[in-house]
Amino acid sequence: MLVFVIRRLMQSVVVLFVMSLLVFVGVFAIGNPVDILINPNADQEDIERAIRGLGLDKPLWEQYLVFLKQAALGDLGKSFAFNVPALQLILERMPATLELATAAMLIAIVLGLPLGLWAGLKPDSFAGKTIMAGSILGFSLPTFWVGLMLIMVFSVYLGWLPSNGRGPTTELFGIPVSFLSWDGIKHLIMPATNLALFKLSLIIRLTRAGTREALLQDYVKFARAKGLSNTRVVGVHVLKNILIPIVTVIGLEFGSVIAFAIVTETIFAWPGMGKLIIDSINVLDRPVIVAYLLIIVTLFIVINLVVDVLYSVLDPRVRLADAKA
């Protein structure tokens, strides 16, 4: 088990390096930084001084090494637009995005698993078919359009919920969260539901498919032949089998939810990382873009690692095979 974790950690470090190189090369190729940063009307001397000051006169590989060194020290440059360290900017916004993403994921799981299970057990019933029809709608509806419609119905026509922004925050273990107040929840609920919709449909469909396949397996027939009650057959035998792939998918999808929050944050003006990155791309605020990418990459690597470990914990076949290896 330990060997497994160490091996994955080493792989992750390699991936991180590769990604940092790609990010560096890619982003630093956007346009000519000189034109962006320095007033073209300044005289030549000022321009050259600025170039040297920013280290833009050195060859690319040297710039990369400097970049790496500074990154290791936690310095990913200063935002051009805000003139604050890019890393700090992103970390300030991260709790908001994580709160939104977590809320969305929770909604998707808590609703999706039972609905999917029902649809899988009784696929030909009215409820089963309705759930499936709903799930198709759920992942066909473009997220941004649903967001707009939600605003229109609940903010403009009904006036129940605020159409943008995040509610007031309080500190929980040092992290600012907004769901602890009623006002905070009112602000959170629409964007979280909007973000959750796609994943909800995905989980419903996965659970249904997994249940349908599991029910055809021999071990279900054998369990019935033992005279076990239907509750036990489904609740223990089927559930434990389908949960393993579903949990791993959920884990991996969490990263995707964080990324897709970009759209939701834009529509609902939610002050998270996603909105920041869109704005930064539009003004070509390189350090922020770089910092965002690196943080996202790290986040993803961590999530992947956790999911892998979780998978091996849940599935005895993987865990014990590894122990023997």
Partner 1 sequence: MNLPTDVPASGTESPAIAVPAPSPTIAFGAPEETPFHRIAADFAASRIALFGLALFALIVLCALFAPLISPQNPYDLAQLDVLDSRLEPGARSGDGKQVFWLGTDDQGRDMLSAIFYGLRISIGVGVTATLCALTLGLTMGLTAAFFGGRVDGFVMRIVDIQLSFPAILIALILLALLGQGIDKIIIALVAVQWAYYARTVRGAALVERSKEYMEAARCLALPASRIVFRHLLPNCLPPLIVVATVQVAAAIALEATLSFLGLGLPITEPSLGLLISNGFTYMLSGKYWISFFPGVALLATIVSINLVGDQLRDVLNPRLQR
Partner 2 sequence: MSEPTLKVAGLRTHFFTRHGVVKAVDGVSFTVEPGKILGLVGESGSGKTMTGFSIIGLVDPPGRIVEGEIRLKGRDLRALAPAEWQAVRGDRIAMIFQDPMMTLNPVLRVDTQMIEAVRAHAAVSAEAARERAREALVRVGIPSPDERLVAYPHQFSGGMRQRVAIAIALINKPDLVIADEPTTALDVTIQGQILAEVQKLCRESGTALIWITHDLAVIAGLADEVCVMYAGKIVERGTVNQVLDSPLHPYTRGLLDSVPSRNRPGAPLRQIPGMTPSLLRLPEGCAFRERCARATETCLSEPPLYPLGDRQVRCFHPIHAEDEEPVV
Residues 53-77, buried b or exposed e (16+ Cβ, 10 A)? eeeeeeeeeebbeebeeebeeebbb
Residue numbers 201-220 binding partner 2 by CB under 8 A: 217-219
Q: Give least dist CB 226 to partner 2, A.
A: 4
Which of 66, 84, 278, 323 is in the footprint of partner 1 by CB under 8 A?
278
The correct pick among 27, 94, 228, 252 for binding partner 2 (CB under 8 A) is: 228
Cα–Cα distance, 267 to 225 (Å, whole number): 54
Single-letter residue type at 205: R
Applying CB under 8 A, the span of 104-112, 225-233, 281-289, 315-323 interacting with partner 1 comes to: 281-289
Mention every residue, 6+ apart, whose C-beta is less than 8 A from residue 239: 117
For residue 44, state whether it binds partner 1 (rule: CB under 8 A): no
Contact of 202 with 139, CB cutoff 8 Å: yes
User: Which residue stretch of 10-18, 70-78, 85-93, 222-230 sits at the interface with partner 2 (rule: CB under 8 A)?
Assistant: 222-230
Instruction: State the nearest-atom distance from the C-beta of 107 to partner 1, in Å.
Output: 19
Instruction: List the interface residues with partner 1, window 207-236 (CB under 8 A).
Output: 212-213, 216
Q: Which of 233/273 has CB closer to partner 1?
A: 273
> At its nearest, how many Å lie between partner 2 and the CB of residue 109?
20
Return the one option of partner 1, partner 2, none that residue 137 interacts with (CB less than 5 to 8 A, by type). Answer: partner 1
The answer to the question of residue 226 lying near partner 2 (CB under 8 A) is: yes
- How many angstroms separate the first and last alpha carbons of the chain? 10
Q: For residues 17-46, b (16+ Cβ closer than 10 Å) or e, as one string?
A: eebbeebbeeebeeeebeeebbeeeeeeee
